[in-house]
Structure 1
Amino acid sequence: MNRPRGLRIVFAGTPEFAAAALAAIAAAGHEIVLVLTRADKPAGRGRALHESPVKRLARERGFAIEQPRSLRDAALQARLRALDADAMVVAAYGLILPAEVLAIPRHGCLNIHASLLPRWRGAAPIQRAIEAGDACTGITIMQMDEGLDTGPMLLAEREPILPDDTGGSLHERLAALGARTIVAALARLREGTLRAQPQPAGGVTYAHKLARADALVDWTQPARRIVDRVRAFDPVPGALALLERMPEAPIKIWAARPAQADGVSGIASTATPARVPGHEQSPASGHVRAPRPGTVLLAAPGRLLVACADGAVELLELQRPGGRRLPAADFLRGCPVEPGERFVMPAAT
């Protein structure tokens, strides 16, 4: 029995997430007629130009490659029309597709989005899902329109967010799931069984692009929220903490957990009110107030606890500028921190 002819696919993508999908589409027997990816970028100390993971894979496989700075170029659009593609698959590409391009492929443009739409439309759905404490996310294959991830849904698959997931570990699983899901969607498209479904009107959230300001830990947040942010921003951009005495040297926090209740109360129970780090005594009543968020409560033996809105966060793995990721005990040997010191709070926005 003859195998059905593969579809003619234009692929647009840039990072590793997209490269996994490109490899899977090619392995499924589809014809990659063109690969679009972002221009090479300078990186590293020498600022040498580096090609994207998608370009590297496309070059190794012998696929035709274009690296336009815009898809509004008339010559590029003419080339896309001449390719007579069945579909364009888009995954973390990084350029806007104008209406003229969306209309060129026979079956339009299919996007691999790393969330269960309409939750987490936008640029950083993986990190924002972990940061929000979501228990589940997934992959949505979407028919692209001119909106921001607003097009009809074609296929979706769920993926649990594990308690110890980081942005990196979840990204890896979703890249693999995205590759499998787009292959399944293209098989249905080829068979004529792929059906579009409008996104629900409710439940829309936006995964705004990550910025450096997001990385700075806000100690006025609850412990769980802080820990989820640390997990979400590993490996990029990395959660940052600034000690008041050295604000020019941001410390990256790579792992943390809510402090055990007995660990926090134990600090207070073994100290007189005047000696409890970061606690303030009310002159009128003599009662000890809760420590100010950002106050170091414990920095020994080998443990680092910092006060937050509802207790404390234990910092488990840290990194100084130019240094290596270290367990808290090793970090404290090279960068001593004293109880009562404070971490700088983010500037109000």
Structure 2
Amino acid sequence: MSPAPAWRVAVVAALPQTAPPLVEAVRRLGHTVPVVIGWRRPRAWPGHLLGEHDLPSGVDLVLPHTTAAVGGLLRAYAVDMAVSYGYPRRLPADAVHAPRHGIANCHPSALPAYRGPNPVGWAVRDGREAIGVTWHRMDEELDNGTVLAAAGMPLLSEDWSFTHVNDRVLSVALPLLPTVLDRLAADDPGDAQTGGPPSWAGFFEADYATIDWTRPAHQVHDQVRAWNIAGHHPRLDGPVGVIEGRPWKVRRTSLTAPGHGAGRRVECADGPVWVTAADPLTAR
């Protein structure tokens, strides 16, 4: 039996939580990753940015100034295909069609539900107990392409951070890669997105950045979780709650008493919630 073909696969990912696992997974399958296409993050972006030291030897990191340059970069590296997860910009048609077998994107929802940049945040906001993990062919529209592989993933009570959710999504997505790459290489058109009308999961709006303590406790708790999981917002800093006349950025809450005098009890419409982590803010 002849060995499986080895392909040149670019990774399109801007975060240190997503790019290295994708590179390692593709290489474990026997393929070459010549380049990671990252993105220049704003100066205000919190936390660690993807750097060359995050990637294994032999993998270049390129940070294009605009998405208009991505197609030329993919052609310059002569890649057969590309895989993407968590890239913060929609790629133009020139980039989408630059690899000869196309680009597969991982999206943490059961498409066409929750298209957009904040799918898990909205799933938590809506009280969902599970999400989908979908690999789809990338086209010129955001999260619109045909499905190559999909699975489900429960949302857990300990899902509190953007990083933790990404790790869990990748644990579901990476085992699907052999199917995804095989279908790309075969120029398989993929399957239509089904399951209902499309919905949009954009950045949270300004009204959702303020905590209304007169709402039910579980809604307040989910609001805080949703903002944590949504990660960086380019325009808003939330959620903010006023406690004893002072505004706080609330980072963590509990629906049960944490014990040992920890946390601050706040009464909601149907019972208390305990604020266990918050940062003081200047009055608005």
- Normalised-by-shorter TM-score class: 0.7 to 0.9
Structure-1 residue corresponding to 2:34: 33
For the structure 1 residues 127 and 97, does the alpha-carbon distance in structure 2 shift closer, same or farther, using more than 3 Å as the test? same
| Structure 1 residues 176-217: Cα deviation after superposition (integer angstroms, max 9, x where no partner) | 222222343114444x39551111372422211257764432
Between the aligned residues of both structures, percent identity stands at 26
TM-score normalised by structure 1 residue count = 0.68
Structure 1 position 108, deviation (Å): 1.2
1:152 partner amino acid? T
Structure-1 residue corresponding to 2:138: 144
Structure 1 position 157, deviation (Å): 0.9
User: Whole-Å Cα distance in 2 between the matches of residues 242 and 171 of structure 1?
Assistant: 30
Structure 1 position 22, deviation (Å): 2.3
For the structure 1 residues 40 and 119, does the alpha-carbon distance in structure 2 shift closer, same or farther, using more than 3 Å as the test? closer
Which of 39, 50, 53 is 1:52 aligned to? Answer: 50
1:286-297 to 2 correspondences below 5 Å: none
TM-score normalised by structure 2 residue count = 0.81
Give the number of aligned pairs.
273
Structure-2 residue corresponding to 1:242: 242
For the structure 1 residues 43 and 8, does the alpha-carbon distance in structure 2 shift closer, same or farther, using more than 3 Å as the test? same
For the structure 1 residues 38 and 211, does the alpha-carbon distance in structure 2 shift closer, same or farther, using more than 3 Å as the test? farther
Structure-2 residue corresponding to 1:266: none
Structure-2 residue corresponding to 1:174: 169
Q: Secondary structure at the match of 2:228?
A: coil
Q: Secondary structure at the match of 2:148?
A: strand
Structure-2 residue corresponding to 1:63: 59
Whether 2:119 is the aligned partner of 1:103: answer no
1:10 partner amino acid? A
1:239-278 to 2 correspondences below 5 Å: 239-243=239-243, 245-247=245-247, 250-257=248-255
Unaligned runs of 5+ in 1: 260-299, 323-343
Which structure has more relative contact order (CA 8 Å, sep 6+)? It is: 2
Q: Secondary structure at the match of 1:31?
A: coil
Structure 1 position 301, deviation (Å): 6.4
Unaligned runs of 5+ in 2: 233-237
Q: Secondary structure at the match of 1:230?
A: helix
Which of 81, 97, 104 is 1:87 aligned to? Answer: 81
Structure-2 residue corresponding to 1:330: none
Alpha-carbon contact 1:43-1:50 (below 8 Å) kept? no
| Structure 1 residues 271-290: Cα deviation after superposition (integer angstroms, max 9, x where no partner) | xxxxxxxxxxxxxxxxxxxx
For the structure 1 residues 66 and 312, does the alpha-carbon distance in structure 2 shift closer, same or farther, using more than 3 Å as the test? same
Runs of 4 or more, structure 1, over 6 Å off, are: none
| Structure 1 residues 312-344: Cα deviation after superposition (integer angstroms, max 9, x where no partner) | 23215123349xxxxxxxxxxxxxxxxxxxxx9
Structure 1 position 34, deviation (Å): 2.0
Structure 1 position 162, deviation (Å): 2.2
Q: Secondary structure at the match of 2:267?
A: strand
